[in-house]
Amino acid sequence: MATVTLTKDNFEEIVSGNGTVLVDFWASWCGPCRMFGPIFEASSEQHPDLVFAKVDTEAEQELAGSFGIMSIPTLMVFREQVLLYSEAGALPADALEQLITQVEGLDMAAVHAEVEAQQAAAEVGERTTA
């Protein structure tokens, strides 16, 4: 599967409408981005069941800013709308494959329960400090 171009207009739809989404924040002038691009593309061909998406940080500055992107390339991985991974730097192919294996192997029921517990704790904290 070819990579999908993400914009502020389709980001939410793509992430919420698919199980696992890998997002590469990049720019054409970025040397490490140009090195990681073919690795990301090759992985998309090996994993047609996953969505591989790219955000051009030059064209989508607002979207990149909303995620606090400070260095590129930055790779984010969402599964069932939960951000599971966010790191700057180009990954070698074997590291990207290991990351995909780890993300696909997660018990998402446990992850969702943990997210809910953290949100509940944050809400309690907000009420006690207000």
83 is catalytic: no
> 33, 63, 64, 69: which one is catalytic?
33
DSSP 29-98: T-HHHHHHHHHHHHHHHH-TTSEEEEEETTTTHHHHHHTT--SSSEEEEEETTEEEEEEESPPPHHHHHH
> 30, 55, 75, 100: which one is catalytic?
30
92 is catalytic: no
The answer to whether the Cα torsion of 126, 69, 89, 26 is positive or negative is positive
Active site residues: 30, 33
